[in-house]
Amino acid sequence: MSLIHRGGIHPTAIVASGAVLAADVEIGPYCIVGDDVVIGARTRLVSHAVVSGPTTIGEDCVIHPFAALGGPPQVLVYNGEPTRLEVGDRNVIREYVTMHRGTPTGRSVTSVGSDCLFMAQAHVAHDCVVEDRVVMAHAATLGGHVHVGEVALIGGLAAIHQWGRIGRHVNIGGLAAVTKDVIPYGSAWGNHAHLEGLNLVGLKRRGFPRETVNDLRAAYRLLFADEGTFQERVEDTARVFAGSDAVMEIVDFIRADANRPLCLPAREL
């Protein structure tokens, strides 16, 4: 027997009058949807989920039991200001996942892209940016203001320090304590995390051309060679691989203004 009530809202669910639901949204048993919540077409709250506003959730998402989305940020200076959470399309949000709204002293918005998987107990803190196709494994945690690039994988029980940057196509190993920025295409693990190399398995799975992978490997060796200073090696890498978009993405990441230091190989620490 289906738990979804005719019309899409189970009789035990509580939906505030100020919520805006697409016609084919399904709200399962004992869910709570607050004011200033907008939920897109075909999104399904399985049961016992709580969505507080202001929050926008896109289309075709599945939100599992006991997830809590759009709650106030966990910072002492927050005084009820109208910040928000924005979640894209086709996300799978598993049990006990938490995502909090932004802060007025930050971006005022926490942003989650599309096609992501958040396994049980994952946490997205205030003012984070999570791009498309990110996977956060069981109990992975983002501190406030973290930026996670697309197709990144954050392993189970890993924690990213507030203001950290995780580049695109990065792999973070389970239990890692990441206190420094991880370059695009990198692979990091450990407590505290260090750069282990490139995420070669992920690059292969995602169909990167052999030429691109070879450029990345050669650039990595140059960046973290023994000769010269790190800044000199960055400039050498930019000159040698100026025609490689993937390598220049790493160079631009390193050159950008950042709040956290760079995650380096263990021998560089």
Catalytic residues: 126-127, 144
Query: Going by C-beta distance under 8 Å and a sequence separation of 6 or more, which residues neighbour residue 84?
Result: 53, 54, 55, 56, 70, 101, 102, 108, 109, 110
Rounded to 5 degrees, φ, ψ at 91 are: -90, 145
Contact 41, 22 (CB under 8 A): yes
- Ramachandran region, residue 58 (left: φ > 0; alpha: ψ -120 to 50; beta: rest): beta
Query: Going by C-beta distance under 8 Å and a sequence separation of 6 or more, which residues neighbour residue 76?
Result: none
Rounded to 5 degrees, φ, ψ at 148 are: -115, 120
